[in-house]
Amino acid sequence: MTESAILVEQLHKSFGPVEALRGIDLAVPRGTVLGVLGPNGAGKTTAVRILTTLLRPDRGRAVIEGLDVVRRAAEVRKIIGLAGQSAAIQDELTGRENLEFVGRLYHLPRDRCRRRAADLLARFELVDAGDRAAKTYSGGMARRLDLAASLVAEPAVLFLDEPTTGLDPRSRIGMWSLIRDLVAGGTTLLLTTQYLDEADELADQIVVIDHGRVIASGTSDQLKDQVGGDVLEFTVADPARRIRAAALVSALSDHDPQVDEASGLISLRIGRRGSDALVEAVRILDQEQIEVQGLATHRPSLDDVFMSLTGHSAEDLAEAR
């Protein structure tokens, strides 16, 4: 149990008739990143609010670094940081004032607040903007300041609630690299996101939440294997040789190849055999001198995973709610 920085058992929470969480279990080893993936309304934010002591669970238990979030909430607050979609940022204060203000509320001595603020502004490339009102910041800068604010007291466990929602692609990639640096420094991170590529990019372990339940969990690779792993794809332009080509490669896998007659595309799930299967395919197709184009393997995206688990793509669900 002490191995886990975050441990959650059978967490339930309802708001009136709406069951937001219906028995969530999580375990996040110290120093790792858990990506909590799910569409809007899946229960991600409710889980984060319980873990950050803002909400009491109806049933179940949540423990941060050995401290129960309900019974020892005051101690939990000292070791966690929370950053999220919009923010603790006050637009009328400067970046520096915002950080120093947070430091005061974490009860850091005044000179330490100043030093931390200066350090964080430098680290998050906000030095030039540090003494400007936060309302003049771009979306990406505001998010960086928000993230910086959550780090003022050097929390052991950090919660990021959809840290890149609404950011442009360039700012997203900037945030990702900042988050990666943080984790390299040993911080345990729980990250919620609706973006599959974000979880893929940042998380060691991923749990997929839908309707208040964990519907799948594992590493990004494990989740992808659940939908049949890698896919081998190639196109045979000559319709006469297409069936023969499909028959030849079917020996590489337990799955049956799919043939798209219109485009001539043949695809085959090959589990985790990856490059092995690719080399073998080249060899056997070449033996019979079948001409192919675009022979390659690719990993399924997390979107494929979400689709196969829920029957909807994550974006579709998010829009429907």
Partner 1 sequence: MTERLKWAVIDSWTMTRRNLTLWVRVPAYIMFTVIQPLMFMLLFRYVFGGAIPIKVKGGYVNYLVPGVIGQTCAFTSFNTALALAQEIKKGSIDRLRSMPMARSAVLVGRLGADLVRLTVTIGVLIGTGYLVGFRFENGAGPAVLMILLALAIGLALACVSAFTGLAIKDEESVQAFGLIWVFPFTFVSAAFVSIASMPGWLQAFANNQPLSIFIEALRALALGGPLAQHLWQSAAWLVGILVVFGSLAARAYRRV
Distance (Å, whole) CA 13 – CA 75: 22
Partners of 54 in the β-ladder: none
Q: Give the nearest distance from C-beta 275 to partner 1 in angstroms.
A: 47
Q: Which two tokens stand for residue 186?
A: 């040993």
Q: Given the complex with partner 1, which of 86 and 219 has the nearer CB atom?
A: 86
Q: Given the complex with partner 1, which of 101 and 176 has the nearer CB atom?
A: 101
Q: How many CA atoms are closer than 13 Å to the CA of 131, on its beta-carbon side? A: 2
Q: Give the nearest distance from C-beta 121 to partner 1 in angstroms.
A: 19
> Where do contacts with partner 1 occur on this chain (CB under 8 A)?
49, 52-54, 74, 77-78, 80, 82, 84-90, 92-93, 97, 101-102, 104-107, 133, 149, 153
Q: Give the nearest distance from C-beta 259 to partner 1 in angstroms.
A: 52
Q: Given the complex with partner 1, which of 93 and 173 has the nearer CB atom?
A: 93
Q: How many CA atoms are closer than 13 Å to the CA of 315, on its beta-carbon side? A: 7
Q: Which two tokens stand for residue 131?
A: 């003494």
Asked if residue 144 lies in contact with residue 126, where contact means CB atoms within 8 angstroms, the answer is yes
Q: Give the nearest distance from C-beta 303 to partner 1 in angstroms.
A: 28
Q: Given the complex with partner 1, which of 163 and 264 has the nearer CB atom?
A: 163
Q: Given the complex with partner 1, which of 92 and 261 has the nearer CB atom?
A: 92
Q: Which two tokens stand for residue 2?
A: 């002490």
CA distance between the termini of the chain: 37
Q: Given the complex with partner 1, which of 85 and 226 has the nearer CB atom?
A: 85
Query: Would you say the C-alpha torsion 291, 297, 298, 299 has a positive or negative sign?
Result: positive
Distance (Å, whole) CA 125 – CA 224: 36
Asked if residue 34 lies in contact with residue 214, where contact means CB atoms within 8 angstroms, the answer is no
Q: Give the nearest distance from C-beta 234 to partner 1 in angstroms.
A: 50
Q: Give the nearest distance from C-beta 110 to partner 1 in angstroms.
A: 11
Distance (Å, whole) CA 201 – CA 195: 10
